[in-house]
Chain A
């Protein structure tokens, strides 16, 4: 299936990316080439295959629900691009 420029724009929007016309063209061409290669996965006989999302092969890791000291707002907000006291500042939402 061919991925159109329109598809690239739609997916970029889903991923919160802004792509200009030049990049849409470039990405559409590259993605089509790569997706065509990915299509070889359709040749594989999947009988006997199972869904694997990781290779840790572990049971769930639990920890005790204990109170611990937090790093505090100064540390947590140390890298914030914009802050006011203990709050992150973001542009208008509504």
Chain B
């Protein structure tokens, strides 16, 4: 195995035993980026100047014996480019923030740094996280490392592609409607959207504040648990962050090793398998995954999410409304791009936004402004918010009968570059399995489960009730150990 393909825990072992240095690990990743990223476009910024120094510093600490037992000491991590990094450009995939250099670190970035991580660079994304294919970046598209004709998914497509192509050890993404889970599924890696409130969002550039959540994208489930241990916890700077105890997310693996999934109830919503547009390879993969979980001891139970059919519409009304409010701050005054051709203030706002934002962002701002405007608020935003309460109730009823809910991550494997870019509605429908978790605030994970007839990975989604990531990780770990997913799918690229 090449060192750039190591997982966090494998690299950690070698670093501890002094069989590998953080510098060598970092150099091998930089070399991989140099070789592949011209074609893949996973990164917007690679912090070349700083990364070598960070690695050398980590090596010094390791030489002294890593007294604080920092789990990420010397491990190079990539960050989706909407997480503020002090002194390092943070663009959010948008021309409007092309030269924005934050003066502070996001809380999750500080947590990674405190755990010893080496911050390798910032990954590409759909502009302001609006998109499901990473074709909407203001800079360049990202290609799927497993087949460059296909999208890597989105909006955290840069992070997923970087992990899948061995261009970082692990990464952070953000998930507003599936933006961690769907690209993880398309690229054959693991991605978790934690419970709303589990991870601080201070320093995350907001898209839809009642839905956004930061989470890890990793090579396997164990790494995902390690990352969750580092980034979870209460933060006074985020008033939506939950003040509850964070468990050791890796401890559930021992429970699995002892008892398998005995006693765990896995719910399958009856609405999911009859969904229009569900690809036959995805359905087959899902049914096979169900059998594997059953063989591991899980009881399969039928549950129902009767309002599933309305989730996409409710989600896009709410997300666009919140976006139209959140993105009003980019006015060319305090930070970011300003169009200097205007000679009065209002014209300056208009020109700055229209030349700084891409078309999809402008479309959503217009839709959101419409949904919130006088005369239409009740019809769209208020109605969608009420439908959201019914979706929350559906999940809460379902979790009275089961511990986890399993489903496909997306209705199809990755689609071709350009296939959906001119049809926003078709693009939105790719989020049908993932976005209801954001509406309900519950956690969800994508774990690789099969390969399609075209050789593209397919993910299994595992969701659980709020703050029950442990059951997700336990089931995901068990599944990963026992699935027939080729272990080398990423390395065949």
Contacts and interface: CB of A to CB of B under 8 A. Distances in A.
Contact of A51 (B103, B242, B314, B385): B385
B408 interface: no
Interface in B252-280: none
B380 to A, nearest CB: 6
Contact of B336 (A33, A57, A75, A81): A81
Given A15-B365, A51-B386, A54-B240, A44 B310 contact: yes
Interface string B356-383: 0101001101110110010000001011
Interface in B221-270: 236, 239-240, 242
B453 interface: no
Given A17-B362, A27-B362, A79-B334, A34 B367 contact: yes
B336 A79 contact: yes
Which applies to chain B's interface (DSSP): helix, strand, loop or mixed?
Answer: helix
B353 interface: yes
Interface in A63-84: 63, 71, 75-76, 78-82
Interface string A19-55: 1000100110011011101101111101011111111
A42 B380 CA distance: 9
Contacts, number: 168
Contacts of A33: 424-425
B464 to A, nearest CB: 15
Interface residues of B, number: 71
A16 B350 contact: yes
Contacts of B388: 52
A25 to B, nearest CB: 12
Contacts of A49: 386-387, 389-390
Interface stretch (B148-156, B166-174, B337-345): B337-345
A31 B389 CA distance: 25
24 contacts: A16-B328, A16-B349, A17-B362, A17-B365, A30-B363, A30-B424, A33-B425, A34-B367, A34-B428, A38-B384, A44-B307, A44-B383, A51-B385, A56-B196, A56-B197, A71-B103, A76-B103, A78-B103, A79-B100, A80-B334, A90-B333, A91-B348, A92-B343, A93-B344
